[in-house]
Amino acid sequence: MLYTGSCHCGRIKFEVEGEVDSGLACNCSMCSRKGSLLWFVPRDKLRLLTDEADAATYLFNKHVIRHRFCPTCGIHPYGEGPGPGGVQMAAVNLRTLEDFDLDRVPVKHFDGRSL
């Protein structure tokens, strides 16, 4: 399935392809503050519809995950970094998808605070 999403102001727009089977709620210091509900896909399944330079980047902790956000409205639509086996992954914030029913997605909780 193909989904479209964006930040609040529309400066960052994207398409992402795949089947959403669950969302991940992480309790690390970053995710708990953002309130993201994450869906992980291979990075090549996320296609930006706007210039990549429109998204700002925040790095913290081990500086492995690039947390991408809009410098205008502050919304964090996705992050990117290496996944298991070195495959480049995107962590899409399900809350930024258009016409998407979050209530149908089972939520898995991850203890990122303890890492």
CA 94 distance to own-chain centroid: 7
Residues 93, 76, 22, CA angle at the centre, nearest 5°? 10
The domain that holds 66 is classified in CATH as 2.170.150.70
What total number of domains does the chain contain? 1
Average pLDDT over residues 46-61: 94
Distance CA 79, CA 24 (A): 13
Q: How far apart are CA 87 and CA 69, in angstroms?
A: 22
- Residue 61: pLDDT over 90: no
Handedness of CA 25, 26, 27, 30 (dihedral sign): negative
Domain that holds residue 52: 2-114
For 6-51, how does the pLDDT look when each residue is reduced to its tens digit (9 = 90+)? Answer: 999 999 999 999 999 999 999 988 888 999 999 999 999 999 999 9
Do the beta carbons of residue 87 and residue 3 sit within 8 Å?
A: no
C-alpha span between 44 and 112 (Å, rounded) = 25
d(CA 72, CA 50): 14
